[in-house]
Structure formats: C-alpha cells, structure tokens
Amino acid sequence: REGLTLPRELTWVTGVVLAVLTASFGVTGYSLPWDQIGYWAVKILTGVPDAIPVIGSPLVELLRGRANVGQSTLTRFYSLHIFVPPLLTAIFTIRLLKK
C-alpha cells in the first residue's frame, strides 16, 4: 500500500509547488510594464491583505513600500519577480534531483 502512496504524494506536491511558482511569476510580473492595468492590479493585489484584522495595514505597507502604490512598489515587485521565484525554482529542482 505504501508503494502506491509515496509517488502519488510526490506528484501532488510537485504539481502544487509548480502551480504556486507559476502564479508567483505571473503575479509579480504583471506589474512590470507599469501601465494602468499593472497599476490597478498591484493596487488591488496589495490591498487584499488590508482585510486581515491586526497585521493587515503593516503588511500592506510592507508590500507597497509605503502607504500608496508608487515607484518603491514597482521596485519591490521587480525584485520579487527577478529573485524569489527563480530561487525557489532552483531550490525545488535541486531537492527533486537529490532524491
């Protein structure tokens, strides 16, 4: 029975991790052209955590870099897009290759 469970779990976890990585590339890369669509996407995306009771407002300021969406927000999202998803992809790939 365990022989059938482990590969399925690994396949499921791999799929979920790849889906999260793909979504993170898309969400952080959406704002890079910095036109009206990118501006409003970032404004809405960074406004979502504001609904969290205690930590919402500080989390929004952490994501935006200040209270409003501006150049610092673009810099943060660019940094996230360039460094975090590729780093997570590399770590995940190394982890899979070592098994």
Whole-angstrom Cα distance, residue 36 to residue 96? 40
Q: Which residues of the chain fall short of a pLDDT of 50?
A: none
| pLDDT at residue number 55 | 92
Q: At 34, which amino acid appears?
A: W
| pLDDT at residue number 7 | 67
Whole-angstrom Cα distance, residue 29 to residue 78? 7
pTM recorded for the entire structure: 0.63
Catalogue all structural domains in the chain, each as residue range(s) with its CATH number.
2-98 (1.20.810.10)
| pLDDT at residue number 5 | 62
| pLDDT at residue number 1 | 54
